[in-house]
Structures are given as structure tokens and as C-alpha cells.
């Protein structure tokens, strides 16, 4: 397999194997006019297997989305065929509209225009709770 390098863009690396498509969809990469490569199950010395996404365009990606889906991701910024920046992602302290509150008594159930905001309450277990009703989030995304 031969995937071309990119001149200006992003390489989203160290994605847990199998989560590449979820990230592709969450970042709406299918809507881009530029080239996007999703490489699945790449052999990795550190991880065993991993996914990689290459985007041939400089984007302002939502780091909270990346961190929520997989906090071990690395984002490399490429300019003129050189890595000019590297971002290590962490679990976001707060996420907005990435998950929905499932509590039928939560105010977000009746007030449709309210954003679904969850705060990180336990980083060790990756537990998020609704800021309005304290309901624990499930792994379901919006």
C-alpha cells in the first residue's frame, strides 16, 4: 500500500485501532474537498495496531472531540512537507453536544435549545456527568 505524503495538512496519529472511522465521522471529514486518507490497522511497535488519518488541508479540528473519543491521539501539523507542530491530546474537562443526557427529567429533555454539556468527574474511569442533573453519561454519542 502506498499513501502519499502531505504538503500542508494534518496527520492524526496513534488512534486506537478501529476508532478511525468514528473520528472521521465526528470531524465531518467526508465533507472536505481535499484528500483525506483513513488508514486502519497499521502495525505499531507501541500500540500493536493503530489507525491513522491524513488530511491534505490545514484544519482547525475540535481537540475536545479527539480527546473524548481517544485521549491518546497525537496531531501532527504539516507545512511545506515538514512537521511544524505536534499536539498531544488529553481528556477534555467539559464536552458540549458530543453526548446527550438520557435522563427524561433533565431540563435538556424539555428545553430543546439547551446544549448538552457534560463535565469530567472521574478521569481514571473517563466518567462524564450532565451539568444540569448530574446523570452519568453513557458511551453514546450525539
Question: Domains of the chain (ranges plus CATH)?
Answer: 9-88 (3.30.70.140), 94-130 (no CATH)
| Mean pLDDT of the region 56-77 | 86
> What percent of the chain has a predicted confidence (pLDDT) above 70?
94
122 confidence band (pLDDT: 50, 70, 90): very high
Q: What pLDDT, on a 0 to 100 scale, did the predictor assign at position 69? A: 86
CA distance 29 to 26: 8
Q: Which residue, 127, 136, 132, 116, is CA-closest to 68?
A: 127
In DSSP terms, 68 is beta-bridged to none
As a whole number, the mean pLDDT across the chain is: 88
**Cell of residue 6, nine digits:** 502531505
> What is the pLDDT at residue 59?
83
Non-local (6+) Cβ contacts of 36 within 8 A are 24, 29, 30, 53, 54, 55, 56
SS3 120: strand
Residues 6+ apart with CB under 8 A from 78: 6, 7, 8, 9, 10, 11, 84
Quick check: pTM over 0.85? no
Looking at residue 117, what is its pLDDT?
95
Please tell me the predicted confidence (pLDDT) of residue 98: 87
- pLDDT for 141 equals 47
Q: What gap in Å lies between CA 102 and CA 130, rounded to an integer?
A: 9
When mean pLDDT is compared across 1-5, 8-12, 85-89, the lowest value belongs to: 1-5
Amino acid at each position: 500500500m502506498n499513501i502519499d505524503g502531505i504538503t500542508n495538512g494534518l496527520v492524526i496519529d496513534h488512534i486506537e485501532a478501529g476508532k478511525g472511522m468514528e473520528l472521521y465521522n465526528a470531524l465531518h471529514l467526508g465533507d472536505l474537498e481535499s484528500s483525506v486518507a483513513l488508514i486502519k490497522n497499521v502495525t505499531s511497535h507501541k500500540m500493536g495496531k493503530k489507525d491513522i488519518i491524513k488530511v491534505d488541508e490545514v484544519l482547525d479540528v475540535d481537540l475536545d472531540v479527539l480527546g473524548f473519543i481517544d485521549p491518546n491521539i497525537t496531531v501532527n501539523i504539516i507545512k511545506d512537507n515538514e512537521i511544524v507542530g505536534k499536539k498531544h491530546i488529553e481528556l477534555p474537562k467539559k464536552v458540549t453536544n458530543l453526548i446527550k443526557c438520557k435522563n427524561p427529567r433533565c431540563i435538556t429533555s424539555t428545553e430543546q435549545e439547551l446544549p448538552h454539556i457534560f463535565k469530567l468527574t472521574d478521569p481514571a474511569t473517563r466518567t462524564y456527568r450532565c451539568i444540569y442533573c448530574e446523570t452519568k453519561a453513557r458511551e453514546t454519542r450525539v
